[in-house]
Amino acid sequence: MANQIAVEGYEAFMSKISELEEQKKEIYCLFSGSVDPQSGKNWCPDCVKADPVIEKCLPNMPEGAVFVHCHVGQRDYWKNKTNDFRVHPKLKLSGVPTLLKWGEPKKLVEDQLFNPDMINMMFED
């Protein structure tokens, strides 16, 4: 089973990625909405729907890989077209949830993450 790490926000994500790159780890990243402090629920309905599908696929990740689940912040921050996640040259996120392999152009976005076959194919490549 892959090592799973959860981080909140851009700075925490970049810090963790730097640490994992130094360790020469294979890294898969899931970006999703954050939990709203008032409701206690994730503001992103697609993220809520995708989470259990992704969770079931995690045992198929390559041996020794690291899974970083990054919460991108609250809805207002995410909707800002110039937020750090959208403009970072290696990320260029267009939607959440997004699953990607760090350092590679392939990514699965939004309703693609409702399909376990697509997730497992990403883990196999």
Residue numbers annotated as active site: 44, 47
C-beta separation of 32 from 71 below 8 A: yes
Helix (H, G, I), strand (E, B) or coil at 107: strand
- Cα–Cα distances in angstroms (integers) from residue 86 to residues 58, 73, 78, 82, in the given order: 25, 12, 8, 6
- Residue matched to tokens 């599908």: 53
Q: For residue 35, what is the DSSP state?
A: B
Amino acid at 37: P
Distance between CA 73 and CA 26 in Å, rounded?
Answer: 25
